[in-house]
Structure 1
Amino acid sequence: MVIYHFLSKIFVWLIYPLSIGILLIIISYIFYRNKKIKFFQPLLIVGLIIIYLPSITPIQRILFKSIHVSSFKISELNQIDAIVVLGGEPARSISGIRLYNKNIAPFIIMTGGSGNIFQESQSESDRMTDFLIEFGVEKNSILSEKKSRNTRENALFSKKIMDKHNIKKIALVTSNIHMKRSIKVFEKLDYDVFPYNSQIFRIPKKNNKFDPFVFFPNVENLFVSTQIIYEYFALFLYKIIGWI
Structure 2
Amino acid sequence: MLYLDKLLAQLAYPLGLSLALCLLALLFFLLDRRRLGGAALAVAIVWLGLWSLPAVSDAARLSLEGRFANRAVTEVPEADVVVVLGGGLGGGPRDWPYPDLGAGADRLWQAARAWHAGKARWVIISGGSMPWQGDRRPEAEAARSFLERLGVPDEVLLSEERSRNTRENALYSAELIRTRGFERVLLVTSALHMPRALATFRAVGIDATPLPADFEVMPEPPHPLRWVPDAQALADSTRALKEYLGLWVYRWRGWAVAER
Distance 2:153 2:131 in 1: 29
Distance 1:212 1:226 in 2: 22
Corresponding residue SS for 2:147: helix
1:92 alignment counterpart: 107
1:188 alignment counterpart: 203
Pairing of 1:125-144 with structure 2 (within 5 A): 125-144=140-159
For residue 54 of structure 2, the aligned residue among 46, 57, 77 is 57
1:239 alignment counterpart: 251
Residue 120 (structure 1) shift: 4.0
Task: In structure 2, list runs of 5 or more residues that go unmatched.
Answer: 89-104
Distance 1:222 1:116 in 2: 27
Once the two structures are superposed, residues 185-235 of structure 1 have per-residue CA deviations (whole angstroms, 9 ceiling, x without a partner) of 11223323222222163x25242x5x2221101122111111111111111
1:149 alignment counterpart: 164
2:177 alignment counterpart: 162
Give yes or no for contact 1:20–1:47 (8 Å, CA) kept in 2: yes
2:214 alignment counterpart: 199
2:92 alignment counterpart: none
Q: 2:241 matched to 1:229?
A: yes
1:66 alignment counterpart: 63
Give yes or no for contact 1:100–1:106 (8 Å, CA) kept in 2: yes
In structure 2, the CA distance between the partners of 1:120 and 1:234, relative to structure 1 (3 Å rule), is farther
Residue 146 (structure 1) shift: 0.7
- Structure holding more helix per residue: 1
Q: 2:45 matched to 1:48?
A: yes
Give yes or no for contact 2:11–2:20 (8 Å, CA) kept in 1: no
Residue 79 (structure 1) shift: 2.0
Q: 2:22 matched to 1:25?
A: yes
Residue 25 (structure 1) shift: 2.2
Give yes or no for contact 1:73–1:196 (8 Å, CA) kept in 2: no
Identity %: 28
Task: In structure 1, list runs of 5 or more residues that go unmatched.
Answer: none
Give yes or no for contact 1:6–1:117 (8 Å, CA) kept in 2: no
Corresponding residue SS for 1:177: coil
In structure 2, the CA distance between the partners of 1:242 and 1:111, relative to structure 1 (3 Å rule), is same
In structure 2, the CA distance between the partners of 1:46 and 1:204, relative to structure 1 (3 Å rule), is farther
Once the two structures are superposed, residues 97-155 of structure 1 have per-residue CA deviations (whole angstroms, 9 ceiling, x without a partner) of 12222221111100011245456431010010111112221000101111111111111
For residue 217 of structure 1, the aligned residue among 216, 224, 229 is 229
1:124 alignment counterpart: 139
Count the aligned residue pairs: 238
Distance 1:177 1:115 in 2: 21
Aligned amino acid, residue 68 of structure 2: S
Residue 35 (structure 1) shift: 4.8
Give yes or no for contact 1:57–1:204 (8 Å, CA) kept in 2: no
Corresponding residue SS for 2:162: coil
Corresponding residue SS for 1:130: helix
In structure 2, the CA distance between the partners of 1:33 and 1:6, relative to structure 1 (3 Å rule), is closer
Distance 1:98 1:120 in 2: 31
Aligned amino acid, residue 73 of structure 1: A
2:4 alignment counterpart: 7
After TM superposition, the structure 1 stretch with the greater mean CA deviation from structure 2, 185-194 or 78-87, is 185-194
Aligned amino acid, residue 10 of structure 2: W
Corresponding residue SS for 2:25: helix
Distance 2:215 2:76 in 1: 21
